[in-house]
Homo-oligomer: A and B are copies of this chain.
Amino acid sequence: MTVTYSSKVANATFFGFHRLLFKWRGSIYKLLYREFIVFAVLYTAISLVYRLLLTGAQKRYFEKLSIYCDRYAEQIPVTFVLGFYVTLVVNRWWNQFVNLPWPDRLMFLISSSVHGSDEHGRLLRRTLMRYVNLTSLLIFRSVSTAVYKRFPTMDHVVEAGFMTADERKLFNHLKSPHLKYWVPFIWFGNLATKARNEGRIRDSVDLQSLMTEMNRYRSWCSLLFGYDWVGIPLVYTQVVTLAVYTFFFTCLIGRQFLDPTKGYAGHDLDLYIPIFTLLQFFFYAGWLKVAEQLINPFGEDDDDFETNWCIDRNLQVSLLAVDEMHMSLPKMKKDIYWN
């Protein structure tokens, strides 16, 4: 479920964001505590080895190695690579959110353009609406692990009422080596044309209005599919990950406190706990976690989109809108500003 905190930051107040630092759900701490422990344990282990196990000559060698590592840690362009990469990931993530398919536009049109309050009319509208919901469900199944878990087979889709047994038979019957998520839209078009021929849809203007809206819905669906199909090139993700992991590996050695009595530059203080290195770990690893969370927003992270909820909401609301609410109108009354 998405972690919403916008109401917490409605006003810029005294150290406004500090309250956000004490949240657990979706927080940097929850996401990073395991990595942090591993990092701290490794650091401590190396520190203990250096302090207790190594002999004098080994210590000298380790100290040189540490200084060498520290110097090169600076040269790894973590900040830059991360900055550009995370910007890319965040943009993709937001575009995916914006292109989530919502049936609301279609349901307004179907409710107002497909006429007839009799059973056939109701069936027509409900079936059209169901086809719309079915398509997005088919897409979500191939995009979202959470939805796939809920609907592992087409049986589950039928059981959940998105498809009738007849439709499933026709669907399976269709021979195509390719994905068939577009099939319900063909049915949609055919059914709408039939309704137009029967006079349930008044004229071509109304019909094309429906078809245009359907195509818009389809574009949302296929864009989602595209984002899943063609991700950020693996090489880019690997470059970034390598950069960050290498940086931390280097820090394990390069940021050790060396014996102050040896007088190495910048090593005249032994704090035991490398506070700034740990903080750097939080910044960079946290920044990378932003990317890990958003690169596929259809998983089950705290901050992922609630696709299963969307599916339920869309079916419930759209059937309600085109059936029960069709032509239902509150009595018109003069409003309080009349004259």
Name the B residues within 8 Å of A112 (CB-CB).
189-190, 192-193, 207, 211
The answer to whether A313 touches B178 (Cβ under 8 A) is yes
Name the B residues within 8 Å of A90 (CB-CB).
88, 232, 236
The answer to whether B269 touches A303 (Cβ under 8 A) is no
The answer to whether A145 touches B329 (Cβ under 8 A) is no
Chain A interface bracket (under 10, 10 to 19, 20 to 34, 35 or more):
35 or more
Q: Quick one: copies of this chain in the complex? A: 5
The answer to whether B239 touches A28 (Cβ under 8 A) is yes
How far does the Cβ of A51 sit from chain B's closest Cβ, in whole Å? 19
The answer to whether B237 touches A316 (Cβ under 8 A) is no
Q: Is the interface of A mostly helix, strand, loop or mixed?
A: helix
The answer to whether B296 touches A276 (Cβ under 8 A) is no
| Closest chain B residue to A182, Cβ basis | B104
The answer to whether B6 touches A235 (Cβ under 8 A) is no
The answer to whether A218 touches B170 (Cβ under 8 A) is no
The answer to whether A190 touches B102 (Cβ under 8 A) is no
Name the B residues within 8 Å of A333 (CB-CB).
164, 166
| Closest chain B residue to A260, Cβ basis | B64
Name the B residues within 8 Å of A266 (CB-CB).
68, 71
The answer to whether B68 touches A237 (Cβ under 8 A) is no
The yes or no answer to A46 lying at the interface (CB within 8 A) is no
Mask, A1-43, CB within 8 Å of B = 1, is 0111111011110111110110100111001001100100000
Given contacts A27-B238, A169-B330, A239-B283, 9 further A-B contacts (CB under 8 A): A5-B237, A9-B292, A21-B241, A108-B186, A127-B332, A166-B333, A194-B329, A203-B205, A230-B305
In the A-B complex, the 6 residue pairs with the smallest Cβ-Cβ separation, listed nearest first, are: A10-B299, A112-B189, A204-B205, A72-B276, A161-B336, A239-B286
